Amino acid sequence: MKKYIFLLLICSVFIGFSQNEDIDNRYKSELYKDYREDQFYASVTYNLINEKPDGISQNGFSSGFHLGFIRDMPINERRNVAIGLGLGISSNSYNQKNILIEEGNNGIEFNSIDESEYNVSKNKFTTYLLEVPLEIRWRTSNATDYNFWRIYTGFKVGYLLYNSTKFMSEVENVKLSNIDSFNKFQYGLTLSAGYSTWNFHVYYGLNPIFDSNSKLNTKTIDMKSLKIGLMFYIL
């Protein structure tokens, strides 16, 4: 009789463990079922100019501010690999020394200048973009852990909403806005990598900031944007 009671207890223990494991699996399954990394993001970048014309240089701090939301769409069972599609806005300033953007007889003109002759105090152009980021996203996260490693890489398209230029010197001051010399669409490759909230971020522009009609000394201005900074994922 004791043997039967002992066997019954052993079976009860195994059944209990099995039921608990089933409950845990169902709980995890329910967690993972709806788990995604929908996130608001904010980024601060230092904006560099690639492929500058000969004799053109940057000065001062050229800043970028980016804000938006990305919809996370997991593509594997663990849901730590996903496609992200979002919408955001950004402002981007570029300080430079040697190009004067002004209105001429035939529209907007780009002229190289000797900074020392003008004694320039400010020379920059600024763009305001509506942006659509598309990412492939990998992370070490799960449904209950919010501190994790991530690598997000992708492509971003920006539509120019507004632009402005400002040139201030002892010789003349020129302020322009919403001129047609900028490319309406600006696009490039992106990479964000890091741990938890703090992430390194880089954007590498693939097309010029200015359109093909914008010329300096008869040569097309092929300057492209390179943005390096920090990305913060808020939620």
Note the pLDDT of residue 97. Answer: 85
Angle formed at CA 151 by CA 41 and CA 158, multiple of 5 degrees: 50
The answer to whether the beta carbons of residues 176 and 108 sit under 8 Å apart is yes
The answer to whether the beta carbons of residues 143 and 32 sit under 8 Å apart is yes
DSSP 14: H
User: Quick one: which H or E segment has residue 25?
Assistant: helix 2-34
Q: What is the 3-state secondary structure (H, E, C) of 204-219?
A: EECCCCECCCCEECCE
The DSSP bridge partners found for residue 155 are 134, 189
The structure tokens listed for 143 are: 């449904």
Pick the more confident residue, 20 or 130: 130
Rounded Cα distance between 50 and 225, Å, is 6
pTM of the model: 0.83
Could you name the CATH architecture of 37-233? Beta Barrel (2.40)
Rounded Cα distance between 196 and 149, Å, is 6
The answer to whether the beta carbons of residues 204 and 186 sit under 8 Å apart is no
pLDDT band at 127 (very low <50, low <70, confident <90, very high): very high
Q: Where are the alpha helices (DSSP H) in 97-223?
A: 115-118
Average the pLDDT over 24-37 and give the result.
56
For the cut 60, the answer to whether the pLDDT of residue 25 exceeds it is no
Give residues with Cβ within 8 angstroms of 131, minimum separation 6.
Answer: 66, 68, 87, 88, 89, 90, 156, 157, 158, 159
The structure tokens listed for 28 are: 């995890």
Give 34-88 as a DSSP string. Answer: H----EEEEEEEEEEEESPPTT--B-S--EEEEEEEEEEEE-SSS--EEEEEEEE
Mean pLDDT, all residues of the chain: 85
pLDDT digits (tens, 9 = 90+) for 144-173: 777 889 999 999 999 999 999 999 998 889
